[in-house]
Amino acid sequence: MPDDLFLERLMDINSRYNRPIISHFWIVHYKDGTALPQFDPIDYHENEYWRAFSDSKEDYVAGIMPKKKDIVKIGWYSIPEDAGMGIMKECGIPVIPLSDKFKEVRIKENDEPYLMRETIFRYAGSQPLFKYVNKYKIGRNIGMPDEELYIIEID
């Protein structure tokens, strides 16, 4: 369970942002050696996830994903503290670097790479509401049951 100091930091940060607190970011790696990170390492702007697969969000939603065949690895990685400050400033996304846990998965031909974060959003209690990402899920294929996914749990 989160300790009191962690909860205090969560609530303080939540009071200033309307997005959940994150601790990890994704990177999608391609067979030509390039990679797309969720956050640009130079200016910290955020890349939407569909960009890892498609040329437009409309294509992604329609299932048109020409880049998918070139993906060789996906991963969730802990956000370094200095990058966290940059992300909060650039994107308005609250960050708490929580742990050094990370997970990578090798992708094979015909896989449907799966990355997802689960947010927990508590409200109506005796303390101010707070929301943070408590699970980072990753797997070779969409639709795998949870027990077959790798999950980084934040608690």
Partner 1 sequence: MVATVNVEVWKGGVAGAPGTLVNVDALGPPNIRLHTADTPDAIDTTTPVPIPTSGQNFSYWAHISLNFGGTFTQISNFRHYSDGAIGWTFGTTPVTPRVPGLYRGNRDAGDKGAPKANYQPAAGTSGTTGFDLLDATNGHPYYRAQVTGVTNIQSDTSAAPATIDSSSYTVATDIKALVLQVNVGTDATQGDQGNELMTWLYDEI
CA distances from 54 to 25, 30, 151 (A): 19, 13, 25
Q: Name which of residues 80 to 109 contact partner 1 (CB under 8 A).
A: 91, 93
- Is residue 35 a contact residue for partner 1 (CB under 8 A)? no
Q: Which residues contact 128 (CB under 8 A, 6 or more apart)?
A: 11, 14, 15
Using the contact rule CB under 8 A, the part of the chain among 28-36, 48-56, 69-77, 99-107 near partner 1 is: 48-56
Q: Please return the burial class of 84, using the count of CB atoms within 10 Å of its CB with bins 0-12, 13-18 and 19+.
A: buried
Residue in the structure block whose two tokens are 């974060």:
117
- Is residue 72 a contact residue for partner 1 (CB under 8 A)? no
- Given 120, 148, 153, 155, the residue binding partner 1 (CB under 8 A): 120
Using the contact rule CB under 8 A, the part of the chain among 27-35, 67-75, 78-86, 128-136 near partner 1 is: 128-136
> Cα separation of 57 and 48, whole Å?
9
How many positions of this chain bind partner 1 (CB under 8 A)? Answer: 30
Residues lying near partner 1 in the complex (CB under 8 A): 18-20, 22, 46, 48-50, 57, 60-61, 91, 93, 115-129, 131, 137
